[in-house]
Structure 1
Amino acid sequence: MTTPIPLSSELPPGDERSRPATTGDTSPFSTASSEEKASPTPTPKQDGDVEVLEWDDPNDPANPVNFSKTRKWVITLSCLLGTLLIPLNGTSITVAHEQLDRVFNINESVFPHSYWIVTSWSVGGAVFILVGLPLLEDLGVRLGYMIFYLFFLLMIIPQALAPNFATLVITRFFSGGCVTLLANTAVSIIPDIWVGDKARSVPVSLYILCYLMGSTLGPPLFAPVVQFLSTWRWIFYIQLIIYGTFLPFFYFTIRETRADVILRRRAKNLRRTTGRSIYTRAELNQTSLISTLASSVYRPIYLLATEPVLIACTFWSAFSFGTVFLFTQSTEQVYIGLYGWNVWSTGYIQIAIVIGEVLGWFASFYGTHLYFASEPRNTETPGVPIPEARLYVSIFGSFVGITGGMFVYAWTAYPQIHWIAPTIGLGMVGFGIQTVVSALADYVVDIYAGSGYAASAVCSIAAGENLVAGFLPLAAQGMYTTLGFQWASSLLAFVALILSFAPVMFVWEGRWFRERSPFMRVGGQANASGVVS
């Protein structure tokens, strides 16, 4: 998975929080949309022998923050639709593992070898999120999205026609990586066009909901393929039809929203047509792609190794999201073992998690209200909300939702108890996952934005989430077989219980942690001492 938070271009020009320090604009592409060309030309300003191109005025219609509200919502909803659809590729194939076993002679009596195609998908996401962001910065939002979407679509073709299991493993590595970059591109559009926390709150929360739902809906949506059609290949045939149909839709609705990219293309056009030395600030301050790539890999690793808050957040968020993928394995064992269901039936039952996620979205939305309501109580930085207020609802979601839901899922797992009981537990966990991931998305961006390291911080969380989602479910078969349904789920509940104390500690002593970090916001400003370059 990708963490549902802005990993690049998080903040528009002039916002109260700085942009990530890892951006660099060196795009060789100069194509501008018709509406960009028709807009008033920004004013060049003299800087020695070089003219620096800037916006003509704060209300320049070419600036994405000045798009009309209708246009903003068209772009946003288009990105949200893509975010809902593309993760389906990750978990949908799990409902067809019995067919894969027969076709490719896979023995799963001891170990779930068929799950390697999901592990590969998730590892691809972890790798691409570290090395692919500089490419997106260079390409811009629209061009980057279309290139990786097309590559993603092409990678599904060999999945549908795979002659052997290795083909699935390899191609899904690349499709999973593309999903990560596409999701990052989609979420980076939101702060490019919506200015301020309040304006961004609804689009960002909807983005997180769409990504979680897209990752969860794979099994229930594609279970009918296994139930009614003759081959698992139809899972990918249908995806080819869906993604191919939406290709022209995304082409016409997703527009360029990176202000730096729009200005850069305009400056290049002016250099070509006038011969003048006109450049943007980003062009003058650009770094090499190799340097940017090295920083994008090094910084998340460095932060994850040195920041206790980020370590705790990564474990908490990664475990929470990893349970979505874990349930693709454990529900099969529980519902087949207890109630004698078919494999495809266990795919349908995961819709309970989706229902929980939707309910969790409403709770997260209330959590945003609590966050803004904390502003009068902020004695550290008067006039802004308390960063740790982001976590209030997630504490309830983590203790009651994930931990409580896991215990319900564990201790209602008896054949004499109706199947609706453990299913309620699944819904509770879905509720908790949504509140936790949503709260962490905002909290990490808030506390690291002042130093410009928010992108690197959430990048480390994204990589952790993908790795846990890829490898945790591999332990499900052995764990549920050895410990039994009740104690296997209880073990997960106890892990969730321990991790649930992390937000309590942050709410209690969050200021203390932030004051001792060279990267977090202290008194509304970043403590820049010790920041690595």
Structure 2
Amino acid sequence: MVFTRGDVSGELDETIDHNEPASNIEVVTWDSPEDPGNPYNWSLRQKWTLTYLASFTTFITMMNGTIITVAHAAINEEFGISDASFPNSYWPVTSWAVGGGCFSLLVLPLMEDFGVRWVFLSTWATFICFVIPQAVAQNFATLIVTRFFAGGCVAILANTSATVIGNLWDTERSRNIPVSLYIVTYLVGASIGPVIGAPIFQFLSWRWIGYLQLIWYGALFPVYFFMFKECRGIAILGQRAKALRREGRQAYTQHEIDSAGTSLLRIVAKSATRPLIMYFTESVVFFSGMWSAFTVGTLYLFTQSVEQVFSGLYGWTPSQAGYVQAAIVIGECIGWVGTLFSGRLYFNSASRNTEVPGEPIPEARLYLAIVSGIVGLSGGMFVYAWTSYPFLPWIAPAVGLAMVGAGSVIVVTGISDYVVDSYAKYAGSAVGIIVTGENIFSAFLPLAAMSMYSHLGFRWASTLLAFISLALSLAPILFVVYGKGIRARSPFMKEAMLEKRRKSIDSV
């Protein structure tokens, strides 16, 4: 069992006389720098096994958010819902994304204190419980409510990869490929939902979308139970300390000592308020969050607009429109290859860094992201817009979708890496608010799709999105040009750079 702060504070308060020196306390640490229990010292096979498991979790759980979209007409018919004046059929996805935003801000940071394994497994079991009503719901309200909690569970499960990667890979260079793998599975999982849901709905029924999810999520649970090891260092040390205490020794980890007397409510409050403070006081967090949120929100918007456009142009069914969204998935896989090149640009920037010699320049993470935002995201939306003519073959707008998919992976990866590199120990808070923004845009931006594409037309609606994306892609150029000055004015970024400079000096 992993220790919680409440467990530790209670034991410490009972066993320590705070007026006496704490010399009788045995601090549990790693036995040596080569301690095999330290996840950083695990074999590459162990590290990659857990990384792949976590990334596959991201992929297969994110699918739950959009897989139901292809069946919206059948769900409307069964429950008496109308999309005549408003896309009410999208509410199950909206509630799912809102749940993800709430849980990612409040619950995800707790993994840093409580460990990964049991939070992950308990969340997976809870998630299965909320998938059941998605298959057997007898009214629309049940679908919306249960999807809210399912989305919250997915926010924890899908983002576990980020925690696992940080716990296993101890250098920026070693994390480069795992992080890009996490992000591509995150985006591909969301985009492939309609592609997987299309044949299920076409050949079975919309309820089978839920039944089959129950089957594969249930079948995977034993796999994760036996293969998903605890990889959080403080949790592993906490287990050692608890074993020693059973022997009568006053053994605690430094983390337990430092956190004694801190309530769970205070932890949650701190986890929730710091991201909000950073969002409204840090220009990098604000603009990066807006850029990333709009990018991810657009991918969800396509689950609505693609059907509207392709049925309007070519008379396609919802299932056929679901299949064509494979173009986005193909583009995202191509974009993943681009992230590897972006990583090379970043590490090569170390040779010209005068601020912290030998360390890569944080803004180098944005070089390819900016280009991809302009050419891939904005360019792809322009292509999608101005190939939306019935006399052009369907492959033409599909190419635009693929360009958007490729650009989205490179942009989101660049933003994530840049924020992590710039904020160091505060990266969790910065990334947490960015993920929350992504969920909010994913929840509400697609609700405007039907009205936009009906009133502006297929071409000008996509053009409007393209111009917004272009403006957001140009803003980070200021970070590249004025990055050094921005970091100097930010207390969070300044502390991160001082830490990097200290490590650089120590390594000489």
TM-score of the pair, normalised by structure 2: 0.93
Partner of 1:71: 46
Q: Contact 1:25 / 1:282 at 8 angstroms: preserved in 2?
A: no
Percent identity at matched positions?
51
Partner of 2:5: 26
Q: Contact 1:520 / 1:526 at 8 angstroms: preserved in 2?
A: no
Q: Distance in 1 between matches of 2:265 and 2:433?
A: 20
Give the deviation of 1:47 after TM superposition. 5.0
Q: Contact 1:25 / 1:260 at 8 angstroms: preserved in 2?
A: no
Structure 1 counterpart of 2:295, from 305, 309, 320: 320
Partner of 1:146: 121
Q: How does 1:304-319 map to 2 (within 5 A)?
A: 304-319=279-294
State whether structure 2 residue 464 is matched by structure 1 residue 491. Answer: yes
Structure 2 counterpart of 1:508, from 477, 481, 496: 481
Aligned partner letter, 1:460: I
Give the deviation of 1:186 after TM superposition. 2.4
Partner of 2:199: 224
Q: How does 1:435-514 map to 2 (within 5 A)?
A: 435-449=410-424, 452-514=425-487
Partner of 1:85: 60
State whether structure 2 residue 160 is matched by structure 1 residue 175. Answer: no
> 1:103-161 deviations in whole A, cap 9, x for unaligned?
00001011100100000000000000111135434442111110001101111001111
For structure 2, the 5+ residue unaligned runs are 9-20, 501-508
Q: SS at 1:87's partner residue? A: helix
Q: Contact 1:25 / 1:137 at 8 angstroms: preserved in 2?
A: no
**Inter-CA distance 448–138: structure 2 relative to 1 (3 Å threshold):** closer
Q: Contact 2:102 / 2:152 at 8 angstroms: preserved in 1?
A: yes
Aligned partner letter, 2:142: T
Structure 1 counterpart of 2:220, from 246, 264, 277: 246
Partner of 1:20: none
State whether structure 2 residue 237 is matched by structure 1 residue 258. Answer: no
State whether structure 2 residue 88 is matched by structure 1 residue 113. Answer: yes
Aligned partner letter, 1:214: G
Q: SS at 1:291's partner residue? A: helix
Higher mean Cα deviation, 499-508 or 365-374?
499-508
State whether structure 2 residue 259 is matched by structure 1 residue 280. Answer: no
State whether structure 2 residue 319 is matched by structure 1 residue 344. Answer: yes
State whether structure 2 residue 274 is matched by structure 1 residue 299. Answer: yes
Q: SS at 1:417's partner residue? A: coil
Structure 1 counterpart of 2:353, from 359, 378, 384: 378
Partner of 1:369: 344
Aligned partner letter, 2:104: I
Q: SS at 1:361's partner residue? A: helix
Query: Larger helix proportion, structure 1 or 2?
Result: 2
Structure 2 counterpart of 1:129, from 98, 101, 104: 104
The count of aligned residue pairs is: 484
Q: Distance in 2 between matches of 1:75 and 1:204?
A: 13
State whether structure 2 residue 76 is matched by structure 1 residue 101. Answer: yes
Partner of 1:402: 377
Q: Contact 2:291 / 2:473 at 8 angstroms: preserved in 1?
A: yes
> 1:291-313 deviations in whole A, cap 9, x for unaligned?
11111111111111111111100
Q: Contact 2:130 / 2:146 at 8 angstroms: preserved in 1?
A: yes
Structure 1 counterpart of 2:211, from 197, 222, 237: 237
Partner of 2:503: none
**Inter-CA distance 513–138: structure 2 relative to 1 (3 Å threshold):** closer
Give the deviation of 1:253 after TM superposition. 1.4
> 1:356-404 deviations in whole A, cap 9, x for unaligned?
1011111111000000000011011111000000011111110000000
Q: Distance in 1 between matches of 2:280 and 2:200?
A: 44
Q: Distance in 2 between matches of 1:283 and 1:139?
A: 11
> 1:72-117 deviations in whole A, cap 9, x for unaligned?
1111111111111111110000000010010000010111001000
For structure 1, the 5+ residue unaligned runs are 1-23, 30-45, 528-533
Partner of 2:139: 164
> 1:405-450 deviations in whole A, cap 9, x for unaligned?
000000110111111111100000001100100001100011111x
Q: SS at 2:26's partner residue? A: strand
Structure 2 counterpart of 1:414, from 377, 380, 389: 389
Give the deviation of 1:28 after TM superposition. 4.8
Aligned partner letter, 2:258: N
Q: Contact 1:140 / 1:258 at 8 angstroms: preserved in 2?
A: yes
Give the deviation of 1:59 after TM superposition. 0.7
Q: Contact 1:25 / 1:261 at 8 angstroms: preserved in 2?
A: no
> 1:294-337 deviations in whole A, cap 9, x for unaligned?
11111111111111111100110000111110000000110000
Q: Distance in 1 between matches of 2:490 and 2:473?
A: 22
Q: SS at 1:520's partner residue? A: helix
Q: Contact 1:353 / 1:428 at 8 angstroms: preserved in 2?
A: yes
Q: SS at 1:52's partner residue? A: strand
- Structure 1: 4+ residue segments shifted above 6 A: none
Q: Distance in 1 between matches of 2:88 and 2:476?
A: 36
Q: SS at 1:48's partner residue? A: helix
Aligned partner letter, 2:440: L
Cα RMSD after superposing both structures: 1.5
Higher mean Cα deviation, 129-138 or 144-153?
129-138
Q: SS at 2:491's partner residue? A: coil
Q: SS at 1:374's partner residue? A: helix
Aligned partner letter, 2:386: W
Q: SS at 2:159's partner residue? A: helix
Q: Contact 1:141 / 1:257 at 8 angstroms: preserved in 2?
A: yes
Give the deviation of 1:276 after TM superposition. 1.8
Q: Distance in 1 between matches of 2:85 and 2:331?
A: 32
Partner of 1:206: 181
**Inter-CA distance 192–27: structure 2 relative to 1 (3 Å threshold):** farther
Q: Distance in 2 between matches of 1:191 and 1:405?
A: 33
Structure 1 counterpart of 2:171, from 196, 221, 227: 196
Give the deviation of 1:26 after TM superposition. 2.0
Q: SS at 1:525's partner residue? A: helix
Q: Contact 2:422 / 2:497 at 8 angstroms: preserved in 1?
A: no
Structure 2 counterpart of 1:271, from 229, 233, 245: 245
Partner of 1:9: none
Q: Distance in 1 between matches of 2:431 and 2:51?
A: 21
Q: Distance in 2 between matches of 1:405 and 1:28?
A: 53
Q: Distance in 1 between matches of 2:36 and 2:272?
A: 36
Q: Distance in 2 between matches of 1:482 and 1:137?
A: 47
Aligned partner letter, 1:431: A
